[in-house]
Amino acid sequence: MDLIRVATVWLSGCSGCHMSFLDLDEFLIDIADKIELVFSPVMDIKEFPENVDVVLVEGAVGYDEQIHFAQTIRKNSKVVVSFGDCAMTGNVPAMRNPLGNPNVVLTRSYIDNADENNQIPSAEGILPVLLERVRPLHEVINVDYFLPGCPPPADRIKLVVSKLLAGEKPVLEGDDLKNG
- CA 94, 41, 141, 89 dihedral sign is negative
Determine if 13 is a binding residue for ligand SF4 (CB under 6 A): yes
**C-alpha span between 139 and 121 (Å, rounded):** 29
Binding map of ligand SF4 across residues 26-65, x = CB under 6 A, - = no contact: --------------------------------xx------
The letter for the amino acid at 83 is F
Determine if 85 is a binding residue for ligand SF4 (CB under 6 A): yes
CB of 17 to ligand SF4, least distance (A): 4
Q: Is the separation of the CB atoms in 124 and 118 below 8 Å?
A: no
Element (H, E) at 131: strand 130-135
Determine if 89 is a binding residue for ligand SF4 (CB under 6 A): no
The count of residues in the chain is 180
Binding map of ligand SF4 across residues 115-154, x = CB under 6 A, - = no contact: -----------------------------------xx---
Residues at the interface with ligand SF4 (CB under 6 A): 13-14, 16-17, 58-59, 84-86, 91-92, 150-151
